[in-house]
Amino acid sequence: MRIASFNINGVKARLSLLCDWLAEARPDVVCLQELKSQDESFPREAIADLGYNLAIHGQKAFNGVAILSRRPIEDVSRGLPGDDGDDQARWIEATVPGESGAVRVCCLYAPNGNPAPGPKFDYKLAWMARLKARAEALLAAEEPAVLAGDFNVIPQDEDAARPEAWAEDALGRPESRAALRRILHLGYWDALRVLHPAERLYTFWDYQKGAWERDDGIRIDHLLLTPQAADRLTASGVSREMRGRERPSDHVPVWCELEI
């Protein structure tokens, strides 16, 4: 089962790019972030026509996440637990049955957190703490699960072309990195890094200042696997060429292959 994550940066503005990629790459499951669309205006038909079932958690103008799957989508849950007052659409999870067993797929869009320090950075760190709590509960189930999405955290210096440029940014600050490490240290595996330990891997290039042309990228989109999922990992990668297409997102898809 091939599972991909893609921060689409506006699903309506990016519909033709998304449909082209779905038809070419044919991922079994896709986690989308930054829909910037309400449920009612989400382009369901075009995606359903390509053979995908849909579970959407949208919001007006900002955020928004969705799971697309060629297989059935079961037991959908919307919203990250831990704060009933949080109405930002940043989390959707569901079970996808495979040929041998099933996988719990969690699609997440972590807060950007800039400017830091400040209230937005506080919200980011509080959200990451809630993510850790959910990640802990998932581990206790001892089943294959994937945390897939835009974590808005650069894990280590080697995950940025110019790490020094991000040292004070919410995406690269030590507090953000520590929050991600706390989740990894529970027992999660970085599906990209575990198979590509020494590779230059970026998933985001800013629209500004010719970041793409200069390969001034960062790796902030991640696939974290429970041990039961990591045991079945056979391949992973970054669909880098997507950044060079017409009207691209500023992110590209990341994917992994699980024997499920």
Partner DNA sequence: ATGGTTGATCCTCAA
Catalytic (active-site) positions: 109, 150
Half-sphere exposure of 167 (CA within 13 A, CB side): 4
Pick 38 or 77: Cβ nearer DNA: 38
What is the distance in angstroms between the CA of the first residue and the CA of the last residue of the chain? 6
Pairing of the two strands 53-57 and 102-109: unpaired
Pick 58 or 155: Cβ nearer DNA: 58
Q: How far apart, in whole angstroms, are the C-alpha atoms of residue 166 and residue 173? A: 7
- Name the β-bridge partners of 148: 107, 223
Closest approach, Cβ 9 to DNA, in A, equals 6
Pick 44 or 70: Cβ nearer DNA: 44
What sign does the dihedral 7-65-148-69 (CA atoms) show?
negative
User: In angstroms, what CA-CA distances link 189 with 27, 76, 145, 208, 260?
Assistant: 21, 24, 11, 32, 17
Q: Tell me, what DSSP letter sits at residue 244?
A: G
Pick 9 or 228: Cβ nearer DNA: 9
Closest approach, Cβ 111 to DNA, in A, equals 6
- Name the β-bridge partners of 95: 74, 104
Q: Footprint of DNA on this chain (CB under 7 A)?
A: 9-14, 34, 36-38, 41, 60-63, 111-112, 114, 120, 207-209, 247
Q: How far apart, in whole angstroms, are the C-alpha atoms of residue 122 and residue 128? A: 10
